[in-house]
Each structure stands twice: as structure tokens, then as C-alpha cells.
Amino acid sequence: MQDFSAVFHNQILIVALVSCLTAQLLKIPIDLIRYRKISVKALFSAGGMPSAHSALVGALATSVGQTRGWDSAEFAIACLFAVIVMYDAAGVRQAAGKQAKILNQIIDDMFQEKEFSEERLKELLGHTPVQVLVGLSLGISIAFLANSQFA
């Protein structure tokens, strides 16, 4: 059995995680500019600009392509995984967020004069296509920068 500490030296994993964390951290100044308030909640929530999921899988696929080869089976797997994650972020999860918004509005309308103690549904679940593309671009850029340092 290999030494588990080798995980902390896995360049591909580190670059992908740094890309994800960078995208999450960027949400704070972007929200500050956009909404004129600091939202630490943005660090721990899904959705928003840029997509951290897209940054993670973009960096993952790029790093795999750079280290294993652009024609490798590993790159093909990472690339298809990235497409599925980004499709889910922009499609399925965004649709679920829209449904949550409508359901919350229905509940507000139905119980306008009555007490209703149920928790509201989370509305910001997914990403717009632009948020996904910005996250993907961020992940690819970080991977190229990081991997050029290690080369």
C-alpha cells in the first residue's frame, strides 16, 4: 500500500483544488462590486460568478492533458467528466433553482396572512452559461500557469 502522504504531492489534484478555491474566493469581491456588500456566505454556497465546479474540472482536465498527454485515455475521461459537470451546473441545477424560486413565490402568496414555518428552498443552485465559461477559463488558466512553474 502506498504512503497516503503522496496525495499531498499530486500536482493534478493540487492544481484542481487551488482553482476551485480561487473561484470561491473570487465570489467575495465580485459580489462586493455587484451588490455593494460583503457576503462571506458566498464562500460556502453553490452558484454565482465564477463557477467553482467549472474551474475545478477545467483545471483537472487541463492538468491531465498536460501531464498525461492530450491523446491519452486519462485526458478523455477527465474531459468528458468536465463536460458532464458543467452541463449539470448550467442546466439541471439552474433549472432546479428556478423551480425553487417559483415554489417559494407560491408559498409566499398562499401563506401571506398565515404563519408558515417551513424553510425556504435554496434558489441559487446552478450557474448561467457565462458563469460556467468564466469558471472554465479560470481553471484552464490556473492549470497552465501552475504547470508551467512545475515544468
Per-residue model confidence as pLDDT tens digits over 75-98: 999 999 999 999 888 776 666 666
pLDDT number for residue 89 = 82
CA–CA dist 135, 86 (Å, integer)? 9
For Cα atoms 117, 122, 126, give the angle at the middle one, nearest 5 degrees.
Answer: 170
Cell 458566498 found at: 42
Average pLDDT, the chain: 84
pLDDT number for residue 26 = 94
pLDDT number for residue 135 = 96
CA–CA dist 137, 123 (Å, integer)? 25
